[in-house]
């Protein structure tokens, strides 16, 4: 009886020893040994981007959004450095040349007014009206003979103009083109006898008939001569703080109708804006 109890006790002790040994073996497993991986079906792909995420290549490298393109209609146009229209007025005196200087004394009053249409900073087209007083020389009045006179020139010119900027305030220009010239005059106190011989003055005055004599009938004391011709000139300008320019200009005008010529050199100073 004692032998059976001892055998049962020994068997129980052996089972307990085996269980304790197994548990110790499991705890003694090295920490660096990888644990068994979970089943593949339970893993989530770590590299797959979310469905709503956009590809990174579509974003700018700097992280800033691209600048908005400005439409052409919203872009500011560059301001022009010239005026479409310019106007000018001037006063001065006349210097005669050619056959005109033989009968007209220098220093007659000159007045001008003009307008120019500019294509750009350098080129334009200018139209001018010119009035010039042409007083006869005292020697001419004595030979006429006459006690007084009133003699004027009215001209219209149309000229291409070339502007030459020299600095921000100083510039120059040249112009040339055709012109129409009308000279009108009258003599007072004249005692010339109709039918008298024709002198160089009466020929220039336009009173001679065939270049031989003064007409017997007709009003030869009044002269009206019209002619086409040309003109050219140059000037310098100085811009003032107000934007108005002061200019000085010299021209030569020439008109011819048959053998009768009119040559005037207006010298003017004025303003343009």
pLDDT, tens only, 122-164: 999 999 999 999 999 999 999 999 999 999 999 999 999 999 9
| The two three-digit tokens of residue 9, written as one number | 């006790």
Q: What span, in angstroms and rounded, lies between the C-alpha atoms of 262 and 42?
A: 115
Q: What span, in angstroms and rounded, lies between the C-alpha atoms of 184 and 153?
A: 6
* C-beta atoms surrounding 16 within 10 Å: 10
pLDDT at 65: 58
pLDDT at 212: 83
Does the pLDDT value for residue 28 go beyond 50? no
pLDDT at 9: 55
Per DSSP, the residues of 94-109 read EEE-GGGGGTB-S--E
- The alpha carbon of 256 is separated from its chain's Cα centroid by a whole number of angstroms, namely 37
pLDDT at 12: 57
| The two three-digit tokens of residue 70, written as one number | 């400005």
Q: Which residue has the tokens 């004595």?
A: 142
- CATH architecture of the domain covering 85-191+222-272: Beta Barrel (2.40)
- Mean pLDDT, residues 101-123: 97
pLDDT at 239: 96
pLDDT at 2: 44
pLDDT at 219: 84
CA neighbours closer than 13 Å in the CB half-sphere of residue 242: 6
pLDDT at 95: 92
Does the pLDDT value for residue 261 go beyond 60? yes
Bridge partners, residue 65, by sequence: none
Averaged pLDDT of the chain: 82
Report helix, strand or coil for 38: coil
């Amino acid at each position: 009886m004692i032998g059976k109890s001892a055998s049962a006790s020994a068997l129980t002790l052996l089972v307990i020893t085996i269980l304790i040994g197994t548990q110790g073996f499991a705890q003694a497993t090295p920490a660096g040994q990888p644990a068994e991986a979970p089943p593949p079906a339970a893993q989530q792909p770590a590299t797959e981007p979310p469905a709503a995420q956009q590809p990174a290549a579509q974003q700018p490298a700097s992280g800033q959004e691209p600048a908005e393109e400005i439409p052409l209609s919203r872009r500011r146009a560059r301001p022009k450095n010239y005026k479409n229209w310019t106007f000018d007025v001037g006063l001065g005196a006349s210097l005669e040349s050619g056959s005109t200087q033989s009968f007209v004394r220098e220093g007659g009053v000159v007045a001008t007014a003009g307008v120019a249409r500019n294509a750009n900073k350098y080129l334009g087209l200018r139209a001018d009206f010119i009035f010039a007083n042409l007083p006869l020389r005292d020697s001419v009045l004595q030979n006429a003979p006459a006690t007084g006179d009133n003699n004027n020139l009215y001209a219209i010119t149309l000229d291409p103009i070339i502007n030459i900027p020299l600095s921000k305030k100083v510039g120059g220009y040249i112009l040339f083109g055709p012109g129409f010239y009308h000279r009108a005059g009258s003599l007072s106190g004249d005692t010339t006898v109709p039918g008298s011989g024709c002198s160089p003055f009466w020929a220039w005055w336009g009173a001679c008939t065939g270049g031989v004599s003064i007409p017997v009938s007709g009003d030869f004391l009044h002269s009206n001569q019209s002619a086409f011709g040309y003109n050219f000139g140059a000037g310098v300008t100085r811009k003032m703080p107000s934007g108005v320019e002061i200019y000085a200009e010299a021209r030569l005008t020439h008109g011819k109708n048959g053998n009768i010529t009119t040559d005037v050199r207006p010298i003017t100073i004025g303003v343009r804006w």
